[in-house]
Structure 1
Amino acid sequence: MRKIIFILFLLSCVVKAQQTYSVDTSYTVKSTYNKLIKKYPSITIPLIEKHKELNKITDVVYYNENGRALHLDAFIYDTRKRNPAVIIIHGGGWRSGNKNQMNAFAEEIADKGYSCFTIEYRLSLEAKYPYGIYDVKNAIKFIKDNAKKFKVDPDKIAVLGCSSGGQMAALIGTTNENPAFDDPLNESKSSSKVNAIINVDGVLAFRHPESSEGEMASFWLGGTYEEKTENWKNASALNHTDKNTPPTLFINSSIDRFHAGRDDMIKILNQNKIYNEVHTIENSPHSFWFFQPWFDQTVLYTTNFLNKIFK
């Protein structure tokens, strides 16, 4: 009996060691559906067909820091050639959400001839900015390190994010080759550089006339604008946009505050003759990408852009 109790004690210690952080589960596809269905009674959660051409590998550990393992799911189009890759970052106000809620989207994109990856990253209850950025850049390095296994062309990498994930995707893409945004503990020799940005309703500037970011941003950034001014500036992709920014696609809802900084970023891209597209889905709510009829539109805009850039 004592032996059994001792074993149970050891197991409980292992569990505690594996997860010693809080998890906010408030942002899910189901909770968002329940919130939107009254105003948009015709919306449906998309049914995803089984794609025979796809290989799926779930919960791959891409990085481990002090016993904290971070995972990704891979959806790989089965071909003899290496595919362009799409790194997909979920939303949730930097605090909630998980990689699984983007898997349906990843499957649909992958079926068009891509290797897609949905990424787990540390949220604000566990780690503040810039650790979530480090995590996604670490995932990009891991995918490049294992490019053959994942059938990835390491010179054709797009980063895509929705909502707060869109903000992160834009920041990751505009800080290519900037060592200040790479994890100093990661010893991989691969670059975290990406070759295209897809921003789905993510802000480009935290402090901007169009922006109304407040409590959620403050929590992730470690304080208010007055308390953490440098974080608010450095986390804004607009402040890093220049001649080296890769081609960029913006897909937006009809809610203006989620476009903050977009038009200013487009001006810089145009000045530097960098290809960009904008698609605003009329009469759509934030989180439109989860539901029909907007899901198919989002997939179409994304794949058309990717085909133009990579194929």
Structure 2
Amino acid sequence: MKPIKSLIILLLIAVTSYSCTSDSNSSENDFTDLEASVKFNVSYGDNEFQTYDLYLPENRDVDTKTLILVHGGGWTSGDKSDMDAFVELIQNDLPDVAILNMNYRLVDNATEAYPTQINDISSVVNHLNANLETYQISSDFGFIGTSAGAHLALLWSYAFNDLNQAKMVCSIVGPTNFTDPEYIEQIDSEELQALIELYGLDLTTTFLEQVSPYLQVTEDAPATILFYGGKDPLVPASQGSDLQDKLEALGVMHEYTLYPEEGHGWDGLELLDTWSKLKRFITENLD
């Protein structure tokens, strides 16, 4: 699910570039002056992949909200650096928001996708909660996820948001229902084999329902914004439209955008439209 990277890169090019001075020192106790500060590779667990980058805005206080970014990569690859363009966009257009850009453990012979990666999001949230006073931020946050990262963000927000801290979640071409026949029929043999290896041989099992955001969402879900491509070769449009219908039926605040001629990523006017809608949605639901 790597084409999403081109979307992020082009999105950065499409808006005014922004630069900031950052501090790469990983000490977590030097925020007393409340100047803008950046912490790279803060550990939230013992595994080398369990790190995040934290971007704290100047003049923050206990009401400052945080956006948690979750990268894609088919659950088996990718890195938080893939979301750096989103970091710059947020810093430029939403300068009062803190940003947490996370890595998580990737699937390999010794690591299962579920519940490992969901547990990593929970660990990040717990680590954030333990450091609210140090960081001088609110306990409220939102998610932006792309592709596989969007699936993880949705699933955590719908099934693991026990304290209702997640106030909004954005899915950009994220899978939502692994039992959807259209999803199984559309993905190619390589992607299907990867899915089988990740989630088991029986693609209609209760387990697949458990890891499908569409089948876990309730009326208590946070505000949700969805972006999908009508010609996506990896994630069919039904993954977004079906979730939209369910959110509508449950009365959950949501927005849905389908770009009929786009695939697993887009550019041009559609790209500008995505950021414009997402920026407004964040402002309205993470305030």
In 1, the alpha carbon distance for the partners of 2:3 and 2:261 equals 22
Deviation at 1:242, TM superposition (A): 1.3
Aligned to 1:224, the other structure's residue is in SS state coil
TM norm structure 2 = 0.78
Please name the residue that 1:204 is paired with: 176
Aligned to 2:226, the other structure's residue is in SS state strand
Please name the residue that 1:139 is paired with: 124
Determine which of 229, 233, 246 is the counterpart of 1:253: 229
Maintained 8 Å contact 2:228/2:240 = no
1:4-29, Cα deviation, whole Å (9 max, x unpaired): xxxxxxxxxxxxxxxxxxxxxx9598
Please name the residue that 1:123 is paired with: 106
In 1, the alpha carbon distance for the partners of 2:269 and 2:147 equals 18
Deviation at 1:230, TM superposition (A): 3.0
Determine which of 162, 165, 172 is the counterpart of 2:156: 172
In 1, the alpha carbon distance for the partners of 2:49 and 2:147 equals 24
Deviation at 1:102, TM superposition (A): 0.3
Please name the residue that 2:19 is paired with: 50
Letter of the structure 1 residue corresponding to residue 170 of structure 2: I
Larger mean CA deviation between 125-134 and 142-151 belongs to 142-151
Please name the residue that 2:75 is paired with: 94
Q: Structure 1: which 5+ residue stretches go unaligned? A: 1-25, 37-42, 179-190
In 2, the alpha carbon distance for the partners of 1:60 and 1:303 equals 27
Please name the residue that 1:19 is paired with: none
In 1, the alpha carbon distance for the partners of 2:89 and 2:111 equals 31
Determine which of 42, 46, 50 is the counterpart of 1:70: 50
Classify 1:282/1:28 alpha carbon distance in 2 versus 1 (closer, same or farther; 3 Å).
closer
Classify 1:55/1:230 alpha carbon distance in 2 versus 1 (closer, same or farther; 3 Å).
same
1:149 lines up with 2:134 in the alignment: yes
In 2, the alpha carbon distance for the partners of 1:138 and 1:177 equals 12
Deviation at 1:307, TM superposition (A): 0.7
Letter of the structure 2 residue corresponding to residue 262 of structure 1: G
1:92-141, Cα deviation, whole Å (9 max, x unpaired): 11111101110121231134121111111011115112101110121112
Larger mean CA deviation between 279-288 and 242-251 belongs to 279-288
Determine which of 50, 60, 64 is the counterpart of 1:80: 60
Deviation at 1:253, TM superposition (A): 2.3
Please name the residue that 1:234 is paired with: 210
Q: Structure 2: which 5+ residue stretches go unaligned? A: 22-34
Aligned to 1:96, the other structure's residue is in SS state coil
Give the alignment of 1:290-301 within 5 angstroms. Answer: 296-301=272-277
1:272 lines up with 2:250 in the alignment: yes
Classify 1:262/1:55 alpha carbon distance in 2 versus 1 (closer, same or farther; 3 Å).
same
In 2, the alpha carbon distance for the partners of 1:280 and 1:207 equals 21
Maintained 8 Å contact 2:56/2:99 = yes
**CA RMSD for the aligned pairs?**
2.8
Maintained 8 Å contact 1:44/1:293 = no
In 1, the alpha carbon distance for the partners of 2:227 and 2:137 equals 25
Please name the residue that 1:262 is paired with: 240
In 2, the alpha carbon distance for the partners of 1:124 and 1:88 equals 19
Please name the residue that 1:307 is paired with: 283
Classify 1:301/1:110 alpha carbon distance in 2 versus 1 (closer, same or farther; 3 Å).
same
Aligned to 2:124, the other structure's residue is in SS state helix
TM norm structure 1 = 0.73
Maintained 8 Å contact 1:115/1:150 = no
Maintained 8 Å contact 2:50/2:104 = yes
In 2, the alpha carbon distance for the partners of 1:240 and 1:149 equals 34
Maintained 8 Å contact 2:12/2:88 = no
Maintained 8 Å contact 1:162/1:201 = yes
1:159 lines up with 2:136 in the alignment: no
How many pairs align? 257
Letter of the structure 2 residue corresponding to residue 210 of structure 1: E
Please name the residue that 1:224 is paired with: 201
Maintained 8 Å contact 1:28/1:97 = no
In 1, the alpha carbon distance for the partners of 2:259 and 2:246 equals 23
